[in-house]
Structure 1
Amino acid sequence: MSQALVHYYPLAGRLREVEGRKLVIDCNGDGVLFVEADADVQIAEIEAAAGGGHGLLMPPFPFVDQLIPDVQVSGSVVSGNVLSCPLVGIQVTRLLCGGFVVGHSFNHNVCDPMGVVHFMNAVADLAAGRRPAQPAVQPTWSRELLDARIPPSPAFQHREYDDTVTPPVRGDADDHVLRSFVFSSTDISALKEASSSLQPLATTTTFELLAAFLWRARTAALEIAPEEEVRLVTVVIFRRIATQLGLPSGYYGNTCVYPTVVMTAGALLGCTLGEVVRLVREAKAAVTAEYVRSTADHLVLRGRPCLCRKNHFVLTDVRRVGFDRVDFGWGEPAYGGPARAQPTVSLLVNVKGRNDAEDVVAIPISLPSTAMERFAVID
């Protein structure tokens, strides 16, 4: 890992806040958090206890907090100031069966999921002896390529940053239940048929379908008042337009923007699935080079605002990012993806089927227990 950090040296620094609440990295070489551990369990035992009874290796995982290092504790547990924390934490836990778990946490201000995979692949290549000198993809920092324009001139409304009072999390935080919901190719085909009145089947993506379906189901399960606004925040990694922004292939910084669909809960639940799919598609399609530049301008003018968190649901797709292909020399992992979900944030992840069965899409969802009971039976 220390060899990989030579090429990814900003990851060994610490965040600092400067004028205008702008975040910068102090490349002070303080390093990353690395933990070695042993667990008296086998991978088969973890698989049996994971996934909420599906028998698949996916969230929720048993004793997950013991498999991922807590970078905040290692940084500044007294002050709670995340600016003093390591940007990266990695823990390798050896299992009785000879397998191991690599749990990691990265500061999202610094890297997006693809940037994380770039770094982990560099570590894996060095660990396996495949590339003793240079990473396969030459890492590039160059954060200035995404700086705001002078003068800043936002061209979009950016409702993802609406200035509203953040409400408390619905339900007792200790009462939240985490479950993964699994969608097979048959399930996805059925959803496509249900939405086909407005969308051509061939062009409807799995993300659009599941985002629309889950947003409606989650809103209904939470019993949000019909007149209240609800938000679907679609996390878009804009590397597909990287060349238009001058980003090299080895750029490992954060390339996420958050186009958001906003409507009242009553209007959402009154829409057909196909109508919501169309809204999700339009939000994603808005992400152009100009949208990215506009976002940077908006953030500067607003002094780095937070995402609007009132009745919001954040969804991203990490199935093709590459977590499940990082190879430390023992082959592809049995599972690669998020270890858990937050109360308002979920991810689409690819999960390997058992006994040569087809892969499935899993989405970990966290809800208050009573809302989860309603969510689980929504058709």
Structure 2
Amino acid sequence: MQPEDRDGLTFTVTRRDPELVCPSEPTPREYKRLSDIDDQDSFRFQIPIMQFYPGGCLSLMPQRDHPALAIRDGLSKALVYYYPFAGRLREFHGRKLVVDCTAEGVLFIEADADVTLEQFGNPLRPLFPCFEELLFDVPGSAGILGCPLLLIQVTRLRCGGFIVATRLNHAMSDGLGLVQFLNAVGEMARGADAPSVLPVWHRELLEARKPPRVTCIHREYDEVPDTKGTSVALEDTTHRSFFFGSTEIAALRRSIPQHQQGCSTFEILTACLWRCRTIALAPDSTEEMRLICNVNCRNKFNPPLPKGFYGNALALPVAITTAGELSTSPLGYAVDLIKKAKDSVTEEYIRSVADLMVSVGRRHYAVVRTYIVSDMTRAGLGDIDFGWGKPKYSGPVRGGLRSSFYIPSKNGNGEDGILVPIRLPAAAMEQFDRELKAALRAYQSGDLNPIHKPKSSLSSL
């Protein structure tokens, strides 16, 4: 486990004016409804990701003096197949989101930076300095309605490497859908005639039933009052990335009994982080703590959702317990809660969510005292090739105050593992770091229940 703080690297980025890249051929002019999973409030936000490509790779397009030229060309061709991305979202009756397929295009920026890839550190870790320069927020572009659905900036570095930064309107796609689209862009940039995986819309497969029937309990959408107020501003927080390799995961596995050894790496790592984070934030022992994990539902259906489906196919099941129980119980207690939440997701569960959204107004999941974790380790972001090989880093650019991503990564010794960006109030981050180190040492030595009591309260997070 290796915490990483980013130092103040600064550099200059020279950008060309943003442009709209449109499909290279005529596309249908039509309305396409999003699903009732897509258009819930939980997904009405923008997702930024970054991919760092090293210099010195053999380009398949040696005549191109800037990778942006190849990527722009691939983007234009891919949009012929993924033409809804070139449209704009409209909101109809009942807050229903619909894509107006206008072929207006996606925002694209070509840039250069006077910095080398090596200056970002080795290994590469979020937070990345000057992020706002590497993914420029074009004024008026970040809304949900009536705005471009994608923004892509390609920044060439002084060493010959480059950075591809992408911002996605989450209502259009989940992480797997975005990877599918970017793979198509890469294939077309490398000269393919068509994407190897053709896109499938079929959002009607995740529409609410008529009449809607809420058949499952969905406590993730509880209306939870913020009784103590959110007292922490983002500028008062700090951000670190923690690496978990085989040694750390083995130590965590030593902390659970034999009958739980079949649990996944996600379940045991999430249990540890949830417990340590709760101890660091130090809420009252009776406060209700929540853990939401994104569950891919593509294979929960019979038959599975069709290959090529690029909408949101996510459920957000929640594990709930009190801060006191979570902080003082063995790690296996949290593992069981998380496993139970994940196992609750079935085809009927996701259909019940769609019905709930229609019934209660497309509600957002509860955020008070909630920690949400997204596993990106098998999403395929690290395989996207625009013609210069695979990226050295590909994934989210930061963790949120209430959220973390699991990113496949390597440490400085080349060991494979999981990188987890964490954002917390400064004092809580120090306590989190101490608690995590102490827990790993205790588990390594055979102490199965290291107990630490909180001293202060930041329980609104």
**Preserved CA contact (<8 Å) 1:175 1:368:** yes
Q: Which amino acid aligns with 1:86?
A: P
Matched residue, 1:128: 190
5+ residue gaps, structure 2: 1-74, 440-461
Q: Measure the CA separation in 2 of the matches of 1:225 and 1:23.
A: 40
Please state if 1:229 is matched with 2:288.
yes
The structure having more radius of gyration, on CA atoms, is 2
Matched residue, 1:352: 410
TM-score (norm. length: structure 1): 0.92
Matched residue, 1:43: 117
SS in 1 for 2:225: coil
SS in 1 for 2:394: coil
**Preserved CA contact (<8 Å) 2:243 2:411:** no
Please state if 1:75 is matched with 2:141.
yes
Please state if 1:17 is matched with 2:91.
yes
Matched residue, 1:64: 131
Q: Of 27, 38, 46, which residue of structure 1 is paired with 2:101?
A: 27
Structure 1 pair 166–125 and aligned structure 2 pair: CA distance change class (3 A):
farther
TM-score (norm. length: structure 2): 0.76
**Preserved CA contact (<8 Å) 1:69 1:104:** no
Q: Which amino acid aligns with 1:362?
A: L
Q: Of 90, 104, 111, which residue of structure 1 is paired with 2:152?
A: 90
Matched residue, 1:205: 264
Q: Which amino acid aligns with 1:187?
A: E
Matched residue, 1:279: 337
Matched residue, 2:233: 172
Structure 1 pair 371–245 and aligned structure 2 pair: CA distance change class (3 A):
farther
Matched residue, 1:52: none
Q: Measure the CA separation in 1 of the matches of 2:338 and 2:136.
A: 35
Matched residue, 1:140: 200
Q: Of 250, 256, 267, which residue of structure 1 is paired with 2:308?
A: 250
**Preserved CA contact (<8 Å) 1:178 1:366:** yes
Q: Which amino acid aligns with 2:144?
A: V
Please state if 1:187 is matched with 2:248.
yes
**Preserved CA contact (<8 Å) 1:145 1:246:** no
Q: Measure the CA separation in 1 of the matches of 2:146 and 2:370.
A: 29
Q: Measure the CA separation in 1 of the matches of 2:360 and 2:226.
A: 17
Q: Measure the CA separation in 2 of the matches of 1:179 and 1:332.
A: 25
Structure 1 pair 166–116 and aligned structure 2 pair: CA distance change class (3 A):
farther
Following superposition, the deviation at residue 198 of structure 1 comes to: 4.8
5+ residue gaps, structure 1: 48-54
Identical aligned pairs, as a percentage? 45
Q: Of 213, 218, 231, which residue of structure 2 is paired with 1:153?
A: 213
Q: Which amino acid aligns with 2:315?
A: V
SS in 2 for 1:296: helix
Following superposition, the deviation at residue 18 of structure 1 comes to: 1.6
Alignment of 1:100-111 (within 5 A): 100-111=162-173
**Preserved CA contact (<8 Å) 2:317 2:341:** yes
Aligned positions, number: 361
Following superposition, the deviation at residue 353 of structure 1 comes to: 3.6
Following superposition, the deviation at residue 246 of structure 1 comes to: 5.2
Which stretches of structure 1, 4 residues or longer, exceed 6 Å deviation after superposition?
A: none
Deviation track 1:184-225 (CA, whole Å, cap 9, x = no partner) reads: 1111011011123551x2x22111011111111111111111
Following superposition, the deviation at residue 307 of structure 1 comes to: 1.0
Please state if 1:294 is matched with 2:349.
no
